[in-house]
Amino acid sequence: MTDSQPIAVIGGLGSGLSAHLAARLAARGYRVAGLSRRGTPPPAEAPGCRAYACDLADGAAVADTFAAIRADLGAPSLYIHNAAQRVVGDFLDTRPEDFERLWRTACLGAVHCAQQVLPAMLEAGRGTLIFTGATGSLRGGARFSAFAASKFAVRALAQSLARAYGARGIHVVHTVIDGVIWSDGVAARHGMAQEDCLDPGAIAEAYLALVEQPPSCWTHEIDLRVAKETF
């Protein structure tokens, strides 16, 4: 462990994508911290990843956690925001509390984390923020009112940050994951076949390619879907 190792933080550890990201980042020499509400242990694929229990919607907890990360590992040069929750159903069955809960995790959590990492990134004149979006980031579907409202908000935030800080060296990316990410749980819950789902390892590779883009050629928004997906 040397000072030259870059530090990455993943907000929303636990999903398959986060585990694959943690593993690939570790293989690339990153020290990785993963945040989750319950302090989900580091994924088997990324044994060196450090897990922190933190409710991203709680600003004070986020501040404490990032202070601990800075003390434990150093200042992050990469933050990936994967935290999101989903509610599906008729609008009249969706409670205002659901709207609030989804917005807190997806959007307010992103605000909290971005405000923690940006000052050191701006001082260094470099850093990368990736916000994971979804189909619902671009389209308010009939049964996705609360989910889309939370994801549209994150997209707005990503655009604002890209425009505010791009010229100061901060690369801000918004991804649009258009489909379901494969996991054993998905198969069990929805009976979906693997070939109909996005591969989390391939998504992680796409994220790494974005992280490695030079400032002479940055992407702000990219969509990712399986070949057979209708769109």
Residue 100's H or E segment, with its range, is helix 96-103
Sole window of 41-49, 80-88, 184-192, 209-217 interacting with a second copy (rule: CB under 8 A): 209-217
Give the one residue of 5, 160, 185, 187 binding a second copy; rule: CB under 8 A.
Answer: 160
At 206, phi and psi to the nearest 5?
Answer: -60, -40
**Segment interacting with a second copy (CB under 8 A) among 48-56, 68-76, 77-85, 152-160:** 152-160
User: What are residue 31's DSSP bridge partners?
Assistant: 7
Q: Please work out the total of residues on this chain that contact a second copy, with binding judged by CB under 8 A.
A: 75
Tell me, rounded to whole angstroms, the distance of Cα 170 from its chain centroid.
Answer: 16
Strand partners for 34: 10, 51
Candidates 53, 140, 190, 193; binder of a second copy (CB under 8 A) is 140
Of 55-74, which residues contact a second copy (CB under 8 A)? 59
Work out which of 30, 52, 131, 182 binds a second copy, going by CB under 8 A: 182
Token duo for residue 207: 């994220």
Q: How far is the CB of 195 from a second copy (least distance, A)?
A: 8
Q: Judged by CB under 8 A, which of 27, 53, 67, 164 binds a second copy? A: 164
Cβ(39)–Cβ(52) below 8 Å: yes
Shortest separation between residue 71's beta carbon and a second copy, angstroms: 22
Own/partner contacts of 155-161, CB < 8 Å, gap of 24 or more, are: 155/131, 157/107, 157/110, 157/111, 157/114, 157/131, 158/129, 158/131, 158/133, 158/220, 159/220, 161/114, 161/118, 161/129
Q: Any contact of residue 85 with a second copy (CB under 8 A)? A: no
Report the side by side order of strands in the sheet with 78-81: 50-53, 31-36, 7-11, 78-81, 127-134, 170-177
What backbone torsions phi and psi does residue 161 show, to the nearest 5 degrees?
Answer: -65, -40
- 112-131: contacts with a second copy (CB under 8 A): 112, 114-115, 118-119
Among the listed ranges 20-28, 45-53, 75-83, 103-111, the one in contact with a second copy (CB under 8 A) is 103-111
Query: Which of the ranges 28-36, 40-48, 70-78, 213-221 carries the binding residues for a second copy, by CB under 8 A?
Result: 213-221
Residues 11-50 that bind a second copy (CB under 8 A): none
Q: Closest distance between a second copy and the C-beta of residue 1, in Å?
A: 29
Residue closer to a second copy, measured from CB, 38 or 126: 126
Q: Which is nearer to a second copy, 52 or 144 (CB)?
A: 144
Tell me whether strands 31-36 and 78-81 are parallel, antiparallel or unpaired: unpaired
